[in-house]
Amino acid sequence: MDSKILPKNGNIDEWLKSIESEMSWWDRTTLPIHRNILNPLRDFYYNLINFPRNLKVWLPFVWTYRNFDYGYSLEALQISLTEQVKCFKSSKEHGMASVDVDTIIKDIEIVVCIIKRIREDDYFNAEYDRLYEVNPSRAFTYHENRRKQDKELLFKKLKKVEQWWD
């Protein structure tokens, strides 16, 4: 193994000092300037520009938020992912999107639809009505199976969340 990746003797402090000694003067001076001065200024500017839009999007949700119901957590995720899709589509229109942006947009839109269906409990359709007329207990099972499938698909798709960035 390379000594730059793992410490030989297990002492992490000595290993970090050895890495710092290998850094050039430029790296030792520019990294703190970036981390301590430039990044906070850039973040402040970004926050200042995006605050009005974020307030418009999130204020209605925050006003009605209740922390005792999972539906509100799903609603927050739905709002966040909807805004993320808008960002991806805007990046795509301006030619700044990643290669696989269409797949990412499709996955996020699927997750948003699943969340919407779970929140609205939208499992009662014509097929359910026909089943209910024939056998009410089977109709209930159908309803529960659809809900279970949606939750499984939701969490399967959410495993890809680390790939959803622009």
Task: Decide if pLDDT at 43 tops 50.
Answer: yes
Residues 159/116, Cβ–Cβ less than 8 Å: no
What is the predicted pLDDT for the residue at 3?
46
Rounded Cα distance, 129 and 86, in Å: 36
φ, ψ at 23 (rounded to 5°): -75, 145
Spell out the residues 6+ positions from residue 114 whose beta carbon is closer than 8 angstroms to its own.
150, 153, 154, 157
CB atoms within 10 A of CB 54: 12
- Alpha-carbon span 40 to 20, nearest angstrom: 24
pLDDT at 38: 82
User: Would the pTM count as exceeding 0.85?
Assistant: no
Q: State the amino acid at position 147 in one-letter form.
A: R
Q: Provide φ and ψ at 165, rounded to 5°.
A: -145, 155
Model confidence at 1, pLDDT cuts 50, 70, 90, reads: very low
| Residue 57, token pair as written in the block | 């999007």
Q: What SS3 class is residue 129?
A: helix
Contact by Cβ (8 Å): 78, 115: yes
